[in-house]
């Protein structure tokens, strides 16, 4: 088993490799370790970034194709006077074919479900999608209430695949390891110095191998700079792919603010007040005579429905006005009878209360008289027995002695 002293002697021994300077074995081993550490993390960074970028590369061609096929539809969505679905007037070129957002959504849904990295964020993003309310002859469009960058964030997509925070601090870590090993090499050289009388022994070994003791610092700085030159472009390509993905998602399903949604829901009064003849003339000028009859029928149905709704509201208003009067007429006589009955009942209760008070007074007088009479009888009864007891013994003696005579 190797002892600590032999290990320390091995690490502090000066050596030269590949025609390099004299340096402690610790500096050579540390330099090799820094190089291996650098290479290992470079390979690991490229592998992780490649694995995180691969889903973006697989989805990007489909997103670009959908965005290119849609053309200028996004700009026409926010044009208030655009009539999507009608033929353009004469003298204007035909616009790009109208895309169906529901089909694009289904296509994108199938692609996102195949990528585990996008599966959960896409499920959250679908909850933010809303369908535009448009007339029956216009294809509805899908909008999002939030931007894609709020859902497909960098932490959500890549935090479990690429440790970007660690790789950004790796150059500082490599530089610190090189400086630490340099100070250890200097410590080894200084530990050999000792005073032998008036002479200092070991200074030649310190001076001879002094240049090699900075080998780890030089290697660490070189590795740190090389890693920075490799890491920054690699991460930039990944961030660029992420930003391109977000831009394509927002282009397919543009975010819509609350003000824009309210503007789309505001009714166009001028269009509703147009007569049937004006609508037919407008449609005829646009080369859409085939839609004149259905729109006329639809207009007639809307007018009938509006008239029926107005009649219903008029009847409800009339009922609201006449109902209180009818209730007053119907309930006047019963309410009068009820009030009279309540007054009679109140009078009867008052008379009964008066009779009860009189009866109570009479009963109190009778009770007081009876109480006085009982008190007088009790007094007279208390006097009479005392006189009887005075003559009772004589009678008893006479009665007891009469048989013996």
The pLDDT, as a whole number, for residue 223 is 92
Unique residue bearing structure tokens 């996008």: 118
Determine how many CB atoms are found less than 10 A away from the CB of residue 173: 15
Q: Which has the closest alpha carbon to 141: 52, 74, 238, 60?
A: 74
Write the CA distances from 214 to 37, 178, 185, integer angstroms: 18, 9, 8
- Are the CB atoms for 205 and 14 separated by under 8 Å? yes
- Are the CB atoms for 254 and 55 separated by under 8 Å? no
- Are the CB atoms for 230 and 45 separated by under 8 Å? yes
The long-range contacts involving 42-46, CB below 8 angstroms and separated by at least 24 positions, are 42/227, 42/230, 45/162, 45/167, 45/230, 45/231, 45/234, 46/230, 46/234
How far apart (Å, rounded) are the C-alpha atoms in residues 112 and 118?
A: 6
| pTM of the full structure | 0.53
Write the CA distances from 171 to 81, 163, 176, 238, integer angstroms: 59, 14, 9, 20
Q: Name 15's bridge partners.
A: 23
- Are the CB atoms for 131 and 89 separated by under 8 Å? no
The pLDDT, as a whole number, for residue 401 is 47
The pLDDT, as a whole number, for residue 321 is 84
The pLDDT, as a whole number, for residue 236 is 93
Tokens of 286: 């646009």
How far apart (Å, rounded) are the C-alpha atoms in residues 86 and 269?
A: 21
The pLDDT, as a whole number, for residue 46 is 93
- Are the CB atoms for 30 and 217 separated by under 8 Å? no
- Are the CB atoms for 71 and 95 separated by under 8 Å? yes
The pLDDT, as a whole number, for residue 88 is 46
SS3 string, the chain, reads CCCHHHHHHHHHCEECCCCCCCEEHHHHHHHHHHHHHHHHHHHHHHHHHHHHHHHHHHHHHHHHHHHHHHCCHHHHHCCCCCCCCCCCCCCCCCCCCCCCHHHHHHHHHHHHHHCHHHHHHHHHHHCCEEECCCCCCCCCCEEECCCHHHHCCHHHHHCCCCCHHHHHHHHHHHHHHHHHHHHHHHHHHHHCCEEECCEEECHHHHHHCCCHHHHHHHHHHHHHHHHHHHHHHHHHHHHHHHHHHHHHHHHHCCECCHHHHHHHHCCCHHHHCCCHHHHHHHHHHCCCHHHHHHHHHHHHHHHHHHHHHHHHHHHHHHHHHHHHHHHHHHHHHHHHHHHHHHHHHHHHHHHHHHHHHHHHHHHHHHHHHHHHHHHHHHHHHHHHHHHHHHHHHHHHHHHHHCCCC
How far apart (Å, rounded) are the C-alpha atoms in residues 321 and 268?
A: 34
The pLDDT, as a whole number, for residue 192 is 65
Q: Which has the closest alpha carbon to 140: 151, 130, 153?
A: 130
Please give the average pLDDT of every successive group of 10 residues along the chain, which has 405 residues: 60 64 75 92 93 91 84 52 44 48 84 89 87 68 84 87 90 90 77 62 59 79 93 92 91 75 55 47 50 78 87 86 82 85 89 90 90 88 59 45 45
| Sequence-distant (≥ 6) Cβ neighbours of residue 296 within 8 angstroms | 276, 279, 280
């Amino acid at each position: 088993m190797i002892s600590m002293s032999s290990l320390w002697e091995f690490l502090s021994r000066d050596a030269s490799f590949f025609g390099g300077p004299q340096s402690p074995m610790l500096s050579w081993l540390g330099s090799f370790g820094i190089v291996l550490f650098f290479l290992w993390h470079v390979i690991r960074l490229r592998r992780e970034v490649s694995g995180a970028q691969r889903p973006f590369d697989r989805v990007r061609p489909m997103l670009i194709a959908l965005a290119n096929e849609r053309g200028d539809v996004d700009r026409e969505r926010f044009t208030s006077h655009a009539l999507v679905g009608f033929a353009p007037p004469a003298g204007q070129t035909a616009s790009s074919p109208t895309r169906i957002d529901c089909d694009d959504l289904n296509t994108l849904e199938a692609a996102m479900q195949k990528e585990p990295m996008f599966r959960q964020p896409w499920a959250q993003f679908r909850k933010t999608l809303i369908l535009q309310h448009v007339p029956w002859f216009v294809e509805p469009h899908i909008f999002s209430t939030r931007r894609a960058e709020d859902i497909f964030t960098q932490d959500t997509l890549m935090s479990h695949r690429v440790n970007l925070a660690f790789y950004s601090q790796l150059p500082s870590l490599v530089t610190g390891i090189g400086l630490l090993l340099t100070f250890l090499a200097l410590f080894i050289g200084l530990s050999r110095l000792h005073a032998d009388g008036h002479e200092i022994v070991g200074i030649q070994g310190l001076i001879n191998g002094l240049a090699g003791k900075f080998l780890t610092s030089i290697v660490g700085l070189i590795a740190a700079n090389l890693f920075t030159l490799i890491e920054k472009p690699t991460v930039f390509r990944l961030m660029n792919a992420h930003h391109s993905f977000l831009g394509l998602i927002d282009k397919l399903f543009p975010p819509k603010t609350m003000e824009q949604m309210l503007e789309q829901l505001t009714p166009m009064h001028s269009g509703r007040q147009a007569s049937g003849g004006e609508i037919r003339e407008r449609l005829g000028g646009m080369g859409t005579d085939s839609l004149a009859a259905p729109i006329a029928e639809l207009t007639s149905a809307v007018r009938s429905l509006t008239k029926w709704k107005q009649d219903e509201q008029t009847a409800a208003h009339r009922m609201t006005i006449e109902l209180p009067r009818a209730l007053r007429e119907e309930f006047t006589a019963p309410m009068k009878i009820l009030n009279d009955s309540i007054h009679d009942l109140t009078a009867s209760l008052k008379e009964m209360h008066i009779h009860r008070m009189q009866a109570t007074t009479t009963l109190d007088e009778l009770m007081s008289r009876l109480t006085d009479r009982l008190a007088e009888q009790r007094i007279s009864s208390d006097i009479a027995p005392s006189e009887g007891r005075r003559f009772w013994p004589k009678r008893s003696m006479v009665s007891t002695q009469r048989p013996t005579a």
